[in-house]
């Protein structure tokens, strides 16, 4: 199987974000592989272990994204393609077009994996646009997957405690969610091997895309202030609970 | 005239309550004609509810391609055609699991701009706001083309009544299903459970809950409150709760009016999923827990002692 996995280089979940220049942020914080993309990589690696083939990472990002690509290569992917941009935030429609071009130039995909969303811009749409560009079917938020010769069965949560089971024709795009698998930490030999794996770099300007008209653009980024300290209710359990219920009723008008 | 279209999410109990906030958001334009798109064939049953929030036209959508219910791509194709046919500029819907999926399919088909999980919308200037970096920042996003698609985070825009008379329209889209994707079955694991992402009140248990069956304690309190029950990542990792109950960075994002966290430390990752709740209450034995530094009300105590008393007090005051 020829499997492509789209991987994004994003600020660490625990990183402090400092807004810079009104719509940007200080990119000096620690960056990681987008957590949902790790489930995508692991699923692809396991599929290729069972069926043979190749796992190719595709990243749209700055040159610094190579560090996250190395981490994903250590998880067992074979090689990578970096589509170089000079912005952390690219409109999702453009990202999908860039991913499509890079994949189509490289080979013929049997499956394409993505994370269900990035944790920085939280666009939640690239898998759908990528599928549309290839004329493939797509399912995201996938928590269970089984792949046969020309179809897959995918499960995702649809809220209210319900799970939907879908039948999807290959080739297809799968958006991975937490729960799909449990990626192990790469061991040292895998990390060392990953350093020697090929990462081909392509400049986004050389893909023949019209970058001058993004469908959406970020015009302002603002830090969200934390709430202050909690008002603590004291006394016996009964007393503190009664004070809480009173506050929720009379001050907050919720109950 | 500016036309806004809204995909109406329905369930066993008809129109989901959270839709009314989306309709209210669309009315914010002032001069918008509001169309509601209903896919389940029961549009006439929803007329009273929808017109009381200002929907002027209800479009009951069918297709030449047969039954819509188990075909996500057919639903999207029908909606995309209807958006064009009714000359909709802004197409909105709930940012629920279904809404995010369906609206993304529609936007991809139309090659239209899409912003998911909006927490604020200004249709006149085509700008929206949404969370970035897991709620650490809010981004204002300008939408540069028409028509455009937005999903709205449930409960972030308060519904306001605005009664009007609405017209019922049947529309049959001339679309077929591509035949590449079909829903085989829907498994209900917790029947009757309040949907976390749409709940007005959520009570969440962290790692100290200690066992799956102890969530019953929270469920009893939730039953009195009409609340949904959530879990932290640590509790899910320990096997005390299924992933579908997880709130936070790698779980669900929720925005209830009241969030009661029991035995939560207050990690950045957990707050990523519930930071936009209106009021946050923490119950924790550790007075030094970071959660007390960034929530509204706190009780320092063991959840196993505090929650049953809370349930009791709520019951007493209800009767």
Q: Where are the domains of chain A?
A: 2-207, 229-255
Q: Please list every residue in chain B whose beta carbon sits closer than 8 Å to the beta carbon of residue A132.
A: 108-109, 111
Q: What is the pLDDT of residue A14?
A: 85
B305 DSSP 8-state letter:
H
What residue of B is the nearest CA neighbor of A14?
Answer: B268
A169 → closest Cβ in B130, B180, B298:
B180
Q: Which residues contact B132 (CB under 8 A, 6 or more apart)?
A: A120, A121, A122, A218, A221, B138, B139
Q: Pull the structure tokens for residue B112.
A: 């239209």
Q: What is the per-residue pLDDT across A221-253, written as a single tens digit (0 to 9) for each?
A: 999 888 999 999 999 999 999 999 999 999 999
Q: Please list every residue in chain B whose beta carbon sits closer than 8 Å to the beta carbon of residue A36.
A: 250
Handedness of CA B127, B131, B136, B141 (dihedral sign): negative
Dist. CA B188–CA B312, nearest whole Å: 30
CA angle B273, B278, B282 (to 5 degrees): 70
Dist. CA B58–CA B37, nearest whole Å: 6
Task: Name which of A116, A25, A138, A255 is nearest B253 in CA terms.
Answer: A116
Q: Does B49 touch chain A (CB under 8 A)?
A: no
Which A positions 30-49 lie with beta carbon below 8 A of chain B? 35-36
pLDDT exceeds 60 at position A207: yes
DSSP letter string, B190-253: STTPPPGGG-SEEEEE-GGG-SGGGHHHHHHHHHHHT-EEEE-HHHHHTTSS-GGGBBSTTSB-
Q: Please list every residue in chain B whose beta carbon sits closer than 8 Å to the beta carbon of residue A121.
A: 132, 139
Q: What is the per-residue pLDDT across A112-134, written as a single tens digit (0 to 9) for each?
A: 999 999 999 999 999 999 999 99
Alpha carbon A75 to chain centroid distance? 16
Report the gap between the CA of A201 and the closest CA in chain B (Å).
27
Name the region of B14 (left: φ>0; alpha: ψ -120 to 50; beta: rest).
left
Task: Name which of A119, A106, A126, A131 is nearest A55 in CA terms.
Answer: A106
Task: Name which of A248, A232, A234 is nearest B225 in CA terms.
Answer: A248
Q: What is the pLDDT of residue B62?
A: 95
Which B positions 161-200 lie with beta carbon below 8 A of chain A? 178-191, 193-198
Q: Strands A2-6, B167-173: parallel, antiparallel or unpaired by DSSP?
A: unpaired
Q: Does A228 touch chain B (CB under 8 A)?
A: yes
Q: Is there a contact between B153 and B22 (Cβ–Cβ < 8 Å)?
A: no
B306 → closest Cβ in A139, A223, A241:
A241
Q: Is there a contact between B263 and B208 (Cβ–Cβ < 8 Å)?
A: yes
Q: Which residues contact A244 (CB under 8 A, 6 or more apart)?
A: A233, B281, B297, B299, B310
Bridge partner residues of A58 (DSSP): A6, A81
ipTM of the complex: 0.95
The stretches in chain B having pLDDT less than 70 are 190-193
For B164, phi then psi, to 5°, come to -155, 175
Q: Which residues contact A150 (CB under 8 A, 6 or more apart)?
A: A169, A170
Report the gap between the CA of A22 and the closest CA in chain B (Å).
10
Cβ <8 Å between A141 and B294: no
Which B positions 94-113 lie with beta carbon below 8 A of chain A? 96-98, 100-101, 104-105, 107-109, 111-113
Which B positions 201-220 lie with beta carbon below 8 A of chain A? 201
Dist. CA B301–CA A179, nearest whole Å: 32
Q: Is there a contact between A41 and A75 (Cβ–Cβ < 8 Å)?
A: yes
What residue of B is the nearest CA neighbor of A241?
Answer: B310
**H helix or E strand, kind and range, residue A105:** helix A92-106
Q: Strands A231-233, B297-300: parallel, antiparallel or unpaired by DSSP?
A: parallel
Which B positions 249-288 lie with beta carbon below 8 A of chain A? 249-251, 257-258, 268-269, 272, 275, 278-282, 287
- How far, CA to CA in Å, does A12 sit from each of A34, A74, A141, B13, B218? 8, 18, 21, 41, 32
Dist. CA B121–CA B94, nearest whole Å: 13
Q: Percent helix, strand, coil in chain B (nearest 5)?
A: 30, 30, 40
Dist. CA B28–CA B11, nearest whole Å: 26
Cβ <8 Å between A157 and B282: no
Which of A161, A181, A213, A247 is the best substitution to test chain B (most B C-beta atoms within 10 A)?
A: A161
B126 DSSP 8-state letter:
T
| Residue ranges of chain B assigned to CATH 3.40.50.1220 | 196-318
B137 → closest Cβ in A36, A172, A221:
A221
Q: What is the pLDDT of residue A226?
A: 84
Report the gap between the CA of A196 and the closest CA in chain B (Å).
31
Q: Does B238 touch chain A (CB under 8 A)?
A: no
Tell which wins on pLDDT, B187 or A173: A173
Which of B112, B115, B131, B133 is the best substitution to test chain A (most A C-beta atoms within 10 A)?
A: B133
Beta-carbon contacts below 8 Å between A and B: 251
Bridge partner residues of A109 (DSSP): none
CATH number, domain B196-318: 3.40.50.1220
Which A positions 111-130 lie with beta carbon below 8 A of chain B? 119-125, 128-129
A175 DSSP 8-state letter:
E
CATH: 3.30.1960.10, 2.60.120.1440, 3.40.50.620, 3.40.190.10. Which one for B2-173?
A: 3.40.50.620
Q: Pull the structure tokens for residue B159.
A: 């519904």
Q: Please list every residue in chain A whose beta carbon sits closer than 8 Å to the beta carbon of residue B195.
A: 159-161
Name the region of A239 (left: φ>0; alpha: ψ -120 to 50; beta: rest).
alpha
Domain A2-207 has CATH 3.40.50.620: yes
Q: Is there a contact between A146 and A158 (Cβ–Cβ < 8 Å)?
A: no
Q: What is the pLDDT of residue B193?
A: 65
Bridge partner residues of B11 (DSSP): B14
Dist. CA B281–CA B296, nearest whole Å: 6
Q: Does B239 touch chain A (CB under 8 A)?
A: no
Report the gap between the CA of B253 and the closest CA in chain A (Å).
11
| Residue ranges of chain B assigned to CATH 3.40.50.620 | 2-173
Dist. CA B281–CA A233, nearest whole Å: 11
B181 → closest Cβ in A157, A168, A214:
A168
Cβ <8 Å between B98 and A158: yes
**H helix or E strand, kind and range, residue A201:** strand A199-203
Alpha carbon B193 to chain centroid distance? 15
Q: What is the per-residue pLDDT across B213-246, written as a single tens digit (0 to 9) for each?
A: 999 999 999 999 999 999 999 999 999 999 889 9
């Amino acid at each position: 199987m020829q499997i492509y996995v789209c991987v994004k280089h994003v600020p660490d979940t625990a990183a402090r974000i400092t807004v810079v220049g009104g719509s940007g942020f200080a990119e000096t914080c620690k960056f990681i592989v987008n957590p949902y993309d790790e489930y995508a990589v692991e699923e692809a690696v396991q599929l290729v272990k069972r069926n043979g083939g190749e796992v190719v990472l595709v990243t749209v990002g700055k040159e610094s994204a190579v560090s996250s690509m190395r981490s994903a290569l250590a998880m067992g992917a074979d090689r990578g393609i970096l589509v170089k941009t000079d912005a952390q935030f690219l409109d999702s429609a453009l990202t999908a077009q860039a991913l499509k071009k890079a994949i189509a130039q490289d080979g013929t995909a049997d499956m394409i994996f993505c994370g269900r969303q990035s944790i920085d811009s939280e666009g939640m749409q690239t898998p759908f646009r990528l599928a549309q560009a290839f004329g493939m079917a797509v399912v995201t938020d996938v928590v269970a997957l089984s792949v046969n010769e020309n179809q897959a069965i995918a499960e995702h949560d649809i809220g209210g405690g319900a799970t939907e089971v879908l039948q999807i024709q290959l080739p297809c795009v799968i958006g991975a969610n937490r729960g799909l698998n449990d990626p192990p930490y790469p061991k040292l030999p895998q990390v060392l091997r990953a350093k020697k794996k090929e990462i081909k770099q392509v400049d986004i300007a050389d893909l023949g895309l019209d970058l001058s008209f993004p469908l959406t653009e970020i015009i302002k980024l603002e830090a969200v202030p934390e709430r202050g300290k909690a008002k603590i209710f004291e006394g016996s359990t009964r007393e503190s609970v009664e004070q809480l219920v009173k506050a929720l009723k009379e001050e907050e008008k919720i109950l | 005239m500016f036309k806004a279209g809204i995909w109406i999410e329905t369930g066993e109990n008809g129109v989901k309550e959270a839709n009314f906030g989306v309709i209210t958001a669309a009315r914010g334009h002032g001069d918008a004609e509001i169309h509601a798109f209903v896919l389940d064939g029961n549009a006439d049953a929803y007329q009273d509810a929808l017109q009381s929030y200002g929907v002027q036209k209800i479009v009951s959508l069918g297709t030449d391609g047969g039954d819509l219910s188990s075909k996500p791509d057919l639903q999207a194709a029908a909606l995309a055609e209807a958006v064009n046919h009714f000359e909709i500029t802004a197409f909105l819907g709930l940012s629920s699991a279904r809404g995010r999926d369906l609206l993304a399919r529609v936007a991809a088909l139309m090659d239209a701009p899409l912003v998911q999980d909006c927490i604020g919308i200004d249709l006149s200037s085509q700008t929206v706001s949404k969370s970035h970096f897991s709620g650490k920042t809010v981004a204002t996003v300008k939408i540069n083309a028409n028509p455009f698609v937005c999903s709205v985070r449930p409960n972030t825009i308060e519904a306001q009544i605005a009664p009007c008379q609405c017209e019922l329209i049947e529309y049959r889209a001339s679309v077929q299903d591509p035949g590449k994707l079909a829903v085989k079955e829907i498994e209900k694991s917790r029947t009757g459970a309040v949907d976390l992402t749409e709940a007005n009140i959520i009570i969440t248990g962290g790692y100290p809950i200690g066992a799956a069956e102890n969530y019953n304690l929270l469920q009893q309190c939730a039953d009195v409150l009409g609340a949904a029950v959530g879990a932290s990542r640590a509790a899910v990792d320990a096997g005390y709760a299924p992933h579908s109950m997880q709130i936070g960075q790698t779980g669900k994002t929720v925005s209830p009016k009241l969030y009661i966290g029991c035995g939560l430390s207050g990690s950045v990752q957990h707050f990523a999923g519930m930071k936009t709740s209106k009021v946050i209450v923490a119950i924790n034995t550790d007075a030094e827990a970071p959660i007390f530094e960034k929530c509204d009300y706190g009780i320092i105590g063991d959840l196993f002692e505090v929650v049953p008393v809370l349930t009791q007090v709520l019951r007493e005051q209800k009767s």
